């Protein structure tokens, strides 16, 4: 069990001690990071250059040393230089050639102290524009934003050249690749991302994982208009939602994950996705600025996300798109006003993966806070009274495959009652929860490979309203699926 992730503030040296000599390389969408377990039950994520310095200095487990994430500036350019130092080595005064760098670092440190002091900046409003129907939407980034990205790439190349030059002066052999330069560009453009590994992205919709059953199960297939994609492996990587679907109805799992048949989106799912996106935008911004966006701005983000969901959603005759949009706006506003200020995110929408009882498992964490607590957002039609077993299974999974997770969880449910409510539930993952994942993941994987997928017509979700595959199910297995 860990006590959290070590965060590095610029120009603030931190003393640490490794629990083990070697770290673990983690490949993410924004570049490679190295994860180290630390004394004191913490973990840290650092760029490979830090791991290289640790190796070159011969630093071993339980030996205290210092890491500094120095921010250097030169005219209008700035860059990050990681420095590793043994504690017992004396500090050498900066040479005359480094005076400007030291002054720049000091200036940056003063600015950082001002940001962390009693002077609070107001949340930054979003730039908005009116659509033809009068709806306010965020202004898309064009022109200057694109130019800024180009400048960041140019600046990254200059940083690489400068570091290579310094390395040659110190008799080191160092050469950056094009991938290194792109990683530097990302760190310059999105500094909040450089301390946390973001694993390889999942498909845009996590409900469309490519899981295919063996050929022995293909005795009679529903009509798919040639859309079936066959692959030889079966259930190679699982997720909590996939296991939950399989245990609820094996036939539905086969239609959804095996054949990858399209699944219609209802209004509840669309609303939840739009609310989730709005909160994600806010907390990603908070990672960098440590301030929430204005509530009005986050509501506008929700409104735009909702408008994107509407064309893909099947509404019932008694549902009003306008009423649902206004309901979502109330949920977002209440969460932003009452809950968001208390959240200190360390990672947002973090793709995680690992192994449980020999089975590869992956998922996505909404928020991991600075204390190592998992925070999960939900929209619900009714006030929750307890944590369901299948949800506890998901939380126990994330506890095991999320670096830095402490086992503490908070579920923030936004309840869609006439007067919207926020219900917070605290939960601690315990040994029985972990045991369930270690037993059920291998069991589910073996069952998925059996080729026998029976419908569960007794399931609460077995109805024409809740299952997109009811027609295929009737054609394949006979019988009738209830209409409601």
Q: What are phi and psi of 213, to 5 degrees?
A: -85, 160
Quote the pLDDT of residue 7.
Answer: 82
Q: Between residues 408 and 124, which one has the greater pLDDT?
A: 408
Q: Is residue 425 one of the residues assigned to a domain?
A: no
Lowest mean pLDDT among 66-75, 185-194, 308-317, 385-394: 185-194
Instruction: In whole angstroms, give the CA distance from residue 209 to residue 205.
Output: 8
User: Is there a single domain that holds both residue 28 and residue 103?
Assistant: yes
Contact 15, 5 (CB under 8 A): no
| 204-258 residue pLDDT tens | 443 333 333 333 333 233 443 433 333 336 688 999 999 999 999 999 898 888 8
User: Is there a single domain that holds both residue 39 and residue 91?
Assistant: yes
Lowest mean pLDDT among 100-114, 285-299, 346-360, 371-385: 100-114
Q: Is residue 240 one of the residues assigned to a domain?
A: no
Contact 330, 420 (CB under 8 A): yes
Q: Which residues contact 57 (CB under 8 A, 6 or more apart)?
A: 65, 84, 86
Quote the pLDDT of residue 117.
Answer: 43
| Structural domain for 138, as ranges | 128-193
Q: DSSP 3-state assignment of 362? A: strand
Q: Is residue 143 one of the residues assigned to a domain?
A: yes
Q: Where are the beta strands (DSSP E) in 255-317?
A: 265-266, 313-314
Q: Which two tokens stand for residue 84?
A: 């590793």
User: Is there a single domain that holds both residue 49 and residue 86?
Assistant: yes
Q: Of 158, 193, 228, at which residue does a domain stop?
A: 193
Pairing outcome for strands 359-369 and 345-356: antiparallel
User: Is there a single domain that holds both residue 40 and residue 108?
Assistant: yes
Q: Is residue 468 one of the residues assigned to a domain?
A: no
Find, among 135, 133, 138, 181, the residue nearest to 161 by Cα.
Answer: 181
Q: Is residue 99 one of the residues assigned to a domain?
A: yes
Contact 285, 293 (CB under 8 A): yes
| Mean per-residue pLDDT, 120-147 | 49
Helical segments of 126-202, H only:
144-169, 178-189
Quote the pLDDT of residue 212.
Answer: 38
Q: Which long-range contacts (CB under 8 A, 24 or more apart) does 207-211 make?
A: 207/241, 207/256, 207/263, 208/256, 208/260, 208/263, 209/237, 209/239, 209/242, 209/257, 210/257, 210/260, 211/235, 211/236, 211/242, 211/257, 211/258, 211/448
Quote the pLDDT of residue 29.
Answer: 43
pLDDT range class, residue 83, cuts 50, 70, 90: very high
Q: Of 81, 113, 145, at which residue does a domain stop?
A: 113
Q: Of 88, 113, 138, at which residue does a domain stop?
A: 113
Q: Is residue 27 one of the residues assigned to a domain?
A: yes
Q: Could you identify the residue written with the tokens 């054949």? A: 259
User: Is there a single domain that holds both residue 100 and residue 146?
Assistant: no
Quote the pLDDT of residue 2.
Answer: 44
User: Is there a single domain that holds both residue 105 and residue 166?
Assistant: no
User: Is there a single domain that holds both residue 108 and residue 135?
Assistant: no
Q: DSSP 3-state assignment of 85? A: strand
Q: Is residue 23 one of the residues assigned to a domain?
A: yes
Quote the pLDDT of residue 128.
Answer: 54
Say yes or no to pLDDT of 131 above 50.
yes
Contact 42, 5 (CB under 8 A): yes
Q: Which two tokens stand for residue 28?
A: 């993410």
Lowest mean pLDDT among 76-85, 175-184, 305-314, 382-391: 175-184
User: Is there a single domain that holds both residue 102 and residue 140?
Assistant: no
Domains of the chain: total: 2
| 9-40 residue pLDDT tens | 888 899 999 988 888 877 644 457 788 888 88
Per cent of the chain over pLDDT 90 is 34
Neighbours of 143 (CB within 10 A): 7
Q: Which long-range contacts (CB under 8 A, 24 or more apart) does 143-149 make?
A: 148/189, 149/185, 149/189
User: Is there a single domain that holds both residue 164 and residue 136?
Assistant: yes
Instruction: In whole angstroms, give the CA distance from residue 186 to residue 195.
Output: 12
| Mean per-residue pLDDT, 458-468 | 83
Neighbours of 66 (CB within 10 A): 15
Q: Is residue 22 one of the residues assigned to a domain?
A: yes
User: Is there a single domain that holds both residue 18 and residue 48?
Assistant: yes
The DSSP call for residue 5 is B
| Mean per-residue pLDDT, 348-363 | 92
Say yes or no to pLDDT of 188 above 60.
no
| Mean per-residue pLDDT, 457-476 | 85
Contact 231, 246 (CB under 8 A): no
Say yes or no to pLDDT of 449 above 60.
yes
Say yes or no to pLDDT of 91 above 90.
no
Q: Which two tokens stand for residue 134?
A: 């009068």
Find, among 94, 86, 90, the residue nearest to 66 by Cα.
Answer: 86
């Amino acid at each position: 069990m860990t006590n959290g992730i070590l965060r590095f503030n610029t120009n603030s040296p931190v003393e640490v001690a490794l629990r083990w000599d070697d770290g673990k390389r983690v490949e993410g969408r924004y570049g490679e990071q190295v994860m180290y377990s630390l004394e004191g039950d913490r973990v840290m994520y650092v760029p490979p250059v830090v791991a290289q310095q640790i190796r070159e200095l011969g630093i071993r487990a339980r030996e205290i040393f210092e890491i500094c994430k120095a921010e250097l500036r030169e005219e209008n350019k700035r860059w990050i230089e990681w420095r590793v130092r043994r504690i017992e080595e004396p500090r050498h005064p900066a040479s005359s050639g480094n005076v400007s760098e030291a002054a720049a670092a000091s200036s940056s440190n003063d600015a950082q102290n001002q940001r962390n002091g009693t002077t609070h900046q107001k949340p930054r409003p979003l730039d908005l524009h009116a659509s033809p129907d009068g709806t306010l939407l965020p202004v898309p980034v064009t022109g200057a934003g694109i130019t800024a990205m180009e400048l960041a790439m140019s600046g990254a190349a200059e940083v690489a050249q400068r570091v290579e030059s310094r390395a040659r002066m110190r008799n080191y052999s160092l050469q950056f690749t094009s991938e290194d330069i792109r990683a530097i560009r990302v760190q310059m453009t999105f500094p909040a991302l450089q301390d946390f590994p973001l694993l390889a992205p999942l498909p845009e919709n996590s409900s469309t994982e490519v899981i295919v059953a063996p050929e022995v199960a293909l005795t009679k297939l529903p009509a798919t208009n040639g859309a079936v994609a066959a692959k030889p492996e079966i259930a190679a990587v699982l997720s909590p939602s996939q296991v939950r679907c399989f245990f609820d109805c094996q036939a539905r799992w086969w239609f959804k994950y095996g054949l990858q048949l399209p699944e219609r989106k209802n209004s509840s799912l669309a609303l939840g996705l739009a609310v989730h996106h709005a909160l994600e935008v806010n907390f990603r911004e908070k990672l960098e600025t440590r301030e929430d966006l204005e509530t009005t701005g986050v509501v506008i983000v929700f409104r735009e996300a909702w408008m994107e969901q509407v064309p893909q959603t099947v509404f019932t005759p008694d549902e009003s798109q306008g009423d649902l949009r206004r309901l979502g706006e109330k949920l977002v506003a209440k969460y932003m006003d009452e809950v968001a200020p208390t959240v200190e995110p360390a990672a947002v929408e973090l793709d995680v993966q690992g192994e449980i009882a020999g089975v590869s498992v992956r998922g996505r964490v909404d928020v991991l806070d600075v204390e190592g607590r998992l925070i999960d957002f939900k929209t619900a039609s009714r006030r929750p009274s307890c944590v369901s077993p299948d949800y506890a299974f998901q939380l126990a999974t994330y506890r095991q495959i999320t670096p830095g997770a402490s086992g503490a969880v908070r579920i923030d449910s936004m309840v869609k009652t006439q007067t919207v409510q926020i219900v917070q539930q605290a939960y601690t993952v315990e040994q029985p929860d972990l045991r369930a994942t270690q037993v059920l993941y291998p069991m589910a994987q073996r069952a998925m490979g059996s080729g026998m997928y029976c419908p569960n017509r007794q399931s609460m979700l077995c109805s024409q309203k809740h299952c997109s595959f009811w027609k295929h199910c009737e054609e394949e297995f006979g019988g009738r699926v209830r209409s409601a």
